[in-house]
Chain A
Amino acid sequence: MSLQALTANRLSNGRVVFLKEDGNWTLDVSEARAVEAETDIADLEGAGRDAEAAQLVTGAYLIEVARTANGVAPLRNKERIRALGPTVQITLNQSRNSAENPPLISSSSVSPCVSPCVSPTDSPQKVA
């Protein structure tokens, strides 16, 4: 099988999380545990079921990932957006003219799925 990581939503607040090597969950996909061997993948799935049973997360599933210079990254477009956040400036209507918040979308074209718009109040952090 291809390289896989395990993702889910944290039950209490819904945030997208990824299983790390140490068995904790993280908001930062680059820290996700990525495995290829069938037994390791089964291990991930087991960890997902356990975390669901413990009401830590909900809806755990595997995603295809790649190892990059910046750590683990999802392969599919949808999973990239899910991991990194909306590709549009989230308070755009108010702040699109501000120099610190340049529009992500140029006037002539739609940008590819690039950097996330991470809110300062919810930067990646460990999940207990």
Chain B
Amino acid sequence: MYRYDEFDARFVKQRVEQYRGQVARRLSGEMTEDEFKPLRLQNGLYLQLHAYMLRVAIPYGTLNAVQMRKLAHIARTYDRGYGHFTTRQNIQYNWPKLEDSADILDALAEVEMHAIQTSGNCIRNTTADAYAGAAADEIEDPRVWCEIIRQWSTLHPEFAFLPRKFKIAVTGAAQDRAAIRVHDIGLAIKRNEAGEIGFEVLVGGGQGRTPMIAKKIRDFLPKDYLLSYLEAILRVYNMLGRRDNKYKARIKILVHETGTEELTRMIEEEWEALRRVTSIDIPPEEVKRIEAYFAPPAFETLADTNVAFEAKRFEDKAFAQWVRHNVKPHRVPGYVSVDISLKPVGGIPGDATDAQMDLIADLTDCYALESEIRVTHQQNLVLPHVKQSDLYALWQALAAAELATPNSGLISDIIACPGLDYCGLANARSIPVSQAISNRFADLEQQAHIGPLELKISGCINACGHHHVGHIGILGVDRKGEEHYQLTLGGRPDNEAAIGKITGPGFSADGIVDAVETVVRTYLNIRLSEAEPFIDCLSRVGADPFKERLYGEKAA
């Protein structure tokens, strides 16, 4: 993974000192809250429902054991002993003090981390396939270009005050696991007919109040031109994106109102003009320098299968169940990627205590090549490079800390935003609904029998819980002071990305749990076989059979 050199280290240090000065000016009254707010936001500090909240960047979800230990230390020292991993592959703390915030950033800088641009109307943390560098279906590791985007976008002077926040996601694999079609810019690494590597460029995806699937604006961009092309997109957006209405300020609205063809023309024209007079693109020797950090780890030459592992799998049913759901194929024989579930039955999705983080760091040192950890956009963790032969020991240690729930990709692997329990914007709570559903489907055998099913919950229309792209989506709303929940079906974030459709009238907090159960029971009754996952069954039969069961025959 990438490591800071002297320049990166000095840069982050300078930025922390700059922020420390800003906090001092705020506390002394030299700066108003209105002036301070965008500055603290661009350093990751929000003011939430109960307290400040600090969002720490985990670039493209990649971190190492030393960094994880520091995250545990921060949770313990400056917060209440836990942190929350987010769908942007970041971590956030719910109770930091403003007066401690510069010290926290200093602690992060010690381990080559920061909170720069984790909020604000700027380019946010770029996200990537959590299995990058490990996945069997990968064309090229997307993290090289994610790191280049990170450096390019960091304190970019032209794009610090965009009309709205801006999110970029990159995948390097055939199967999109980074939800690139619901990002402001989605990049898919591909190989052209001449065998060269480049990017397919998508623009204008997003969730929120007006969900949209991104439009392709370029089929193939040679990778050396990525930054100038991004700069052209951002410049057009910065100048033309709407600033009169924050709900219409994302680039998806500009794409929609201008038309994909016309906006593409403007971006291409800007790109041509920009390349004539300036050299925005990163120097090739610098690309090489960054690439070197992402060279594959020193894999051993191993057999495809490990006999001891196979034996344990045969003997220990619980282990076999975990392997079946939480262990993913690797491109190198004898290795696998391991999903660490942060979704224990009845737990809070994405939360981890300081002790759990420390333990994961220790296990990473023992069992994961190069002590590397990933954060997934599903709010779980991944150890990307683990030997099959180490799996049993790793599983036992994870299980002892409630980190081995075998539910990766199943109904209790729920994405949920913090909702009204923490968030100042929310209209309804998400976490208790998530917990109630998780408890309702607590039987892991039953979950496995139901099969792959992505359930996502947002506590308001900003859709931080990705409900629009949940196979089953739940949106919390406020109805005359009562929490109320709408149900959507058929959303998906992958290669066939789609926005879920509302089934009909919403449900009470209790009713929504029953409604989910009704949907699942209906699916189990009508699926062709266990081999037909929920989302496929739904696209085969449509939503009507589900609506009939939810609302009675007339509704459908």
Q: Which residues of A are interface residues toward B (Cβ below 8 A)?
A: 9, 11-16, 52-55, 58-59, 76-78, 81-82, 85-88, 90-94, 96, 103-111, 113, 119, 121
Contact = CB atoms under 8 A, between A and B. Distances in A.
Given A14-B47, A92-B348, A94-B356, A109 B436 contact: yes
29 contacts: A9-B47, A14-B50, A16-B49, A16-B51, A52-B33, A55-B26, A55-B29, A58-B47, A59-B33, A76-B481, A77-B481, A78-B427, A81-B49, A86-B431, A87-B421, A88-B421, A90-B80, A91-B81, A93-B344, A93-B402, A94-B353, A94-B402, A103-B346, A103-B435, A105-B436, A110-B433, A110-B513, A113-B429, A119-B80
Given A55-B27, A121-B80, A107 B481 contact: no
Interface string B398-438: 00001000000000000000001110001101011101100
Nearest to B50: A16
Contact of A13 (B97, B427, B431, B439): B97
A44 B439 CA distance: 45
Given A54-B29, A77-B482, A107-B442, 5 more contacts: A11-B26, A14-B50, A93-B348, A93-B402, A107-B436
A110 B510 contact: yes
B202 to A, nearest CB: 35
A116 to B, nearest CB: 10
B355 interface: yes
The 7 lowest CB-CB distance pairs between A and B, nearest first, are: A14-B52, A13-B97, A107-B439, A110-B509, A86-B421, A14-B51, A93-B347
Nearest to A95: B353
Interface residues of B, number: 52
B436 A77 contact: no
B348 A94 contact: no
B352 A93 contact: yes
A78 B28 CA distance: 31
Contacts of A108: 436, 439-440, 513
Contacts of A54: 29
A92 B353 CA distance: 9
Given A11-B27, A76-B481, A86 B50 contact: yes
Interface in B102-135: none
B52 A82 contact: no
A82 B50 contact: yes
B438 to A, nearest CB: 9
A12 B82 contact: no
Interface of B: 26-29, 33, 47-52, 80-82, 94-99, 342, 344, 346-348, 351-353, 355-356, 402, 420-422, 426-427, 429, 431-433, 435-436, 439-440, 442, 478, 481-483, 509-510, 513
A94 B354 CA distance: 10
Contacts of A16: 49-51
A36 to B, nearest CB: 20
Contacts of B433: 110
Contacts of B348: 88, 92-93
A87 B49 CA distance: 13
B269 to A, nearest CB: 44
A103 B431 CA distance: 13
B553 to A, nearest CB: 27
B27 A12 contact: yes
B80 A107 contact: no
Contacts of B356: 93-94
Nearest to A83: B50
A57 to B, nearest CB: 10
A1 B128 CA distance: 52
A2 B55 CA distance: 38
A34 B266 CA distance: 57
Contacts of A78: 49, 420, 426-427, 478
Contacts of B95: 14
A6 B435 CA distance: 33
A100 to B, nearest CB: 16
A13 B99 contact: yes
Nearest to A117: B421
Nearest to B52: A14
A105 B432 contact: yes
Contacts of B421: 81, 86-88
Q: Which of B402, B421, B440 has the most CB of A within 10 A?
A: B421
Contacts of A59: 33, 47
A55 B31 CA distance: 10
A54 B29 CA distance: 7
Given A88-B348, A93-B344, A9 B51 contact: yes
A98 to B, nearest CB: 12
Contacts of B429: 81, 87, 110, 113
A91 B439 CA distance: 17
A85 B346 contact: no
B49 A109 contact: no
B378 to A, nearest CB: 16
A105 B346 contact: yes
Nearest to A104: B432
A13 B47 CA distance: 10
Contacts of B94: 90
Contacts of B49: 16, 78, 81-82
A37 to B, nearest CB: 25
B114 to A, nearest CB: 20
A82 B425 CA distance: 12
A16 B50 CA distance: 6
Contacts of A111: 432
